[in-house]
Amino acid sequence: MAVAQSGVLALGTSSHAYLEFDRRPGTTDAALVEALAGLLAAVKTTGATGLVAGIRPELWAAVAQDDAPDVHGYDEPVVGPDGFTMPATQHDVVLWATGGGRSIVFDATTGAVAALAGVAELADETVAWSHHHDRDLTGFEDGTENPSAAEAVGVVTIPDGEPGAGGSVLLLQKWEHDSATWYALDRTTQEDVIGRTKPDSVELDPKPDDAHAARTDQDTYGHVFRRNTAWGDTTAHGTMFVGFCAQQRPLAAMLDAMAGNDGPRDALTRYTTALTGAYYVVPPADVLARLAPSDDEG
């Protein structure tokens, strides 16, 4: 039985950082994955930080060959009928570092960049945090439809017997909010945009067809596990969408729905802009461990 990377479901961390890397010229698929596997193998359970590693789907398929899930990179933007666009900014590797404070996450990320320096170059970095435990910067609860802790493993983990068993699919997007316009709206209008009440996250009945809760309804498009965080400062800020699923299909269907490709465009997209978009395969921890260099190889 394959073992998932523990950080995917490690809840309660307050400090986060997302590092996306591009392979250096001349580096082979195998060499990049081996270096990444070696980095994860060195993470200690007593170190108070966690690392989750994701790999561009095509790169992982080249290394894992017949045991890779059916996932493709985010190589083309998602475009709605009115021209609304969620850009494609696919990279080769992502590291998500988590911990209880900024200092230890900083140490983990600087160490990771140094460890991978010979095979990969840091292309994008975002520092983030858990905002008021479960709120995003719109002031609404984030992840209301997330599965329970008991159900989450089944939602995010590829089942035994399927290619890539024990792994997961990650959709990572950085969204920037137009907070000035958003907070100029009255609460009733904000609730219509989200499709839920602001204080206690009760779903509106009925809710507008273009409400965010309607356009991302998990009973319609499939269940995912969101680990979203807030990023930025007072002048530029927003949400890191961190969505895990055992399949790519629900994640892709949700983006199409938000863009308005099967109905009205998600009203929330009128107040927030997607800056990045990438899919990654999150391989099982034991598979990566087998690919790490041995002590003799150093």
> Which pLDDT score, from 0 to 100, does residue 66 have?
83
> Which pLDDT score, from 0 to 100, does residue 197 have?
98
Q: 178 by DSSP, 3-state: which?
A: coil
Return the residue matching tokens 């003799």.
296
Token couple for 189: 């209008």
Q: 221 by DSSP, 3-state: which?
A: helix
β-strand partners of 128? 16, 231
The phi and psi torsions of 130 (rounded to 5 degrees) equal: -85, 115
Whether this model's pTM surpasses 0.95: yes
> Which pLDDT score, from 0 to 100, does residue 227 have?
95
> Which pLDDT score, from 0 to 100, does residue 297 have?
55
| Domain positions in the chain | 12-291
pLDDT tens over the chain, length 298 residues: 788 999 999 888 999 999 999 999 999 999 999 999 999 999 887 777 899 999 999 999 999 988 899 999 999 999 999 999 999 999 999 999 999 999 999 999 999 999 999 999 999 999 999 999 889 999 999 999 999 988 999 999 999 999 999 999 999 999 999 999 999 999 999 999 999 999 999 999 999 999 999 999 999 999 999 999 999 999 999 999 999 999 999 999 999 999 999 999 999 999 999 999 999 999 999 999 999 998 655 4
Residue 20 near residue 126 (C-beta atoms within 8 A) = no
> Which pLDDT score, from 0 to 100, does residue 11 have?
87
What does the alpha-carbon distance between residue 236 and residue 281 come to, in Å, rounded to a whole number? 29
What does the alpha-carbon distance between residue 136 and residue 125 come to, in Å, rounded to a whole number? 20
Least Cα distance to 145 among 83, 89, 195, 87 occurs for: 195
Max CA separation in the chain (angstroms):
64
> Which pLDDT score, from 0 to 100, does residue 265 have?
98
Cβ-based burial of 254 (10 A; exposed 0-12, middle 13-18, buried ≥19): buried
Residue 172 near residue 242 (C-beta atoms within 8 A) = yes
